[in-house]
Amino acid sequence: MELVIHTLRNGIRLIHQPTQSPVSHCGVIMNTGSRDEADNEHGLAHFIEHMIFKGTKNRKAHHILSRMEDVGGDINAYTTKEETCLHASFYNNYYDRAFELMSDILIHSSFPANEIRKEKDVILDEINSYKDSPIDLLYDDFEEMVFNTHPIARNILGDEKKLGEYTRQHLLNFYRKHYSTHEMIVSSVGSISPKRVINYFEKYFTVIPERKTGGGRLKYDEAGYRPRHEQVSKSTYQAHCILGNQAYGHTDKKRLALHLLNNILCGSGMNSRLNIALREKRGLAYNIESNYTTYSDTGIINIYFGSDREDIGRCIDVSLREIRNIREKALGSIQLSRAKKQLIGQIAIATENYEHQMIANGRSLLIYGHVDSLKEISDKINRVHAGEILEVANEIFQQDELSQLIFN
């Protein structure tokens, strides 16, 4: 994989992957998310993500949206617990337009007071919509259980009361405090020469003033974790259950073994152990999945399933039995080889989605300082041995260390 990396004096870095596609993708990935909020700032990172589209010194809100949509492209953003990303997709003739617009948003967002009032109502609708989705709510409530009072526990959207209190000055203060140019990556995937993309990058991003933020985010203390079991009454047709534990962070050497284990237990394949045990053999559940998410200094793994209320206890028993089996017996060589091939194949297929690849490249440079090729990733996965997976299974999936949340 041919990659171009270029760094400006203000600290902003570019990573570009050339392709032959007529559609290009670029984004700015920033190392700031909801985890960086103080107790009295809950929801500000997500609020800023909304407000960057609501006007700059040079453009009104509809001009920002029309700038890319007028040429068939689109621009969007998202916030996670540790990142904010502004990204665009467009016909590759319009790199100049996309870079100029993103630079304008990053430098000149004005957070107009009249738009703040309107956008609060939009975010309130988003919060209420999210509350109507029991699965989304279940995942967020589970993270609050696992991470307890730490800032990483809080949901990304914020809450109604605090949202109503925020002013333009709150947004400006948070933006100036947390969005460092040294922790911004401009990521690009498209059909453009390295020389041209660097020229556009220097033209529009050199003018952004250098900003170094201080402090750093509050570390998570894994020793503070205590497993909890809770059941909440909900007006839903199904019961929903999630089981899980805290896990390894971005740089932990055991994370690859856990990625493999997660895929074996209940990854995206229909042949995962829990999908076969719960759905194919017993018909107890339609939707079964597991997810492993890494953060800078911790992580979380969870297993989710929805079933009829009378079957939820049986689903839990079957899941715990499958977990116990993988803790007690190491994978055979054929099983391990199959699991590795499956995960590598899934990663390879994901690289065909260039928007996904653009974000993945940027995140990797931001987190690790480099981007591994598919071969390098494959080699690392192939070096994982059965003993490592068994060790990880016994560290992460001890039954008395698992938390459990049921919406019933």
**pLDDT tens digits, one per residue of 348-379:** 999 999 999 999 999 999 999 999 999 999 99
Question: In one letter, which amino acid is 105?
Answer: I
Q: What is the CATH number of the domain that holds 155?
A: 3.30.830.10
**Do 48 and 158 share a structural domain?**
yes
Quote the pTM value. Answer: 0.94
378/397 Cα distance (integer angstroms): 25
213 domain-assigned:
no
Token representation of residue 110:
């004005």
Q: What residues have CB less than 8 Å from 379, skipping those under 6 apart? A: none
CA atoms lying within 13 Å on the CB side of residue 34: 19
**Do 45 and 172 share a structural domain?**
yes
**Do 394 and 303 share a structural domain?**
yes
220 domain-assigned:
no
Local confidence band at 215 (pLDDT 50, 70, 90 cut-offs) = low
| Angle at alpha carbon of residue 95, lines to 91 and 99, rounded to 5° | 135
**Do 261 and 121 share a structural domain?**
no
140-174 pLDDT, tens per residue? 999 999 999 999 999 999 999 999 999 999 999 99
**Do 256 and 121 share a structural domain?**
no
pLDDT beyond 70 at 76: yes
66/87 Cα distance (integer angstroms): 15
215 domain-assigned:
no
**Do 201 and 230 share a structural domain?**
no
Local confidence band at 269 (pLDDT 50, 70, 90 cut-offs) = confident
Are 130 and 136 in contact by the 8 Å Cβ rule? The answer is yes
218 domain-assigned:
no
pLDDT beyond 70 at 1: no
Q: Could you say which of 173, 205, 237 is where a domain stops?
A: 205
Domain with 394 in it? 226-407
**Do 78 and 107 share a structural domain?**
yes
Kind of pairing between the strands at 229-232 and 184-190: unpaired
Are 15 and 365 in contact by the 8 Å Cβ rule? The answer is yes
Q: Could you say which of 205, 237, 261 is where a domain stops?
A: 205
368 domain-assigned:
yes
Are 242 and 303 in contact by the 8 Å Cβ rule? The answer is yes
Helix (H) or strand (E) run with residue 30 in it: strand 23-30
Are 146 and 225 in contact by the 8 Å Cβ rule? The answer is yes
**Do 200 and 230 share a structural domain?**
no
The 3-state DSSP class for residue 214 equals coil
Backbone angles phi, psi at 79, to 5 degrees: -125, 135
**Do 121 and 249 share a structural domain?**
no
What is the number of domains present in the chain?
2
97/91 Cα distance (integer angstroms): 11
E strands, 98-143, in order: none
The share of the chain scoring above pLDDT 90, in percent, equals 94
71 domain-assigned:
yes
344/325 Cα distance (integer angstroms): 24
**90 closest CA partner among 196, 194, 191:** 191
Q: What is the mean pLDDT of residues 185-204?
A: 97
279/228 Cα distance (integer angstroms): 27
251/259 Cα distance (integer angstroms): 13
**100 closest CA partner among 196, 195, 240, 204:** 204
pLDDT beyond 90 at 267: no
337/313 Cα distance (integer angstroms): 33
317 domain-assigned:
yes
**Do 249 and 179 share a structural domain?**
no
**Do 80 and 27 share a structural domain?**
yes
Instruction: Return the number of other C-beta atoms located less than 10 Å from residue 386's C-beta.
Output: 16
Q: Could you say which of 205, 234, 250 is where a domain stops?
A: 205
Mean pLDDT (the chain, rounded): 95
**Do 361 and 257 share a structural domain?**
yes
263/169 Cα distance (integer angstroms): 45
210 domain-assigned:
no
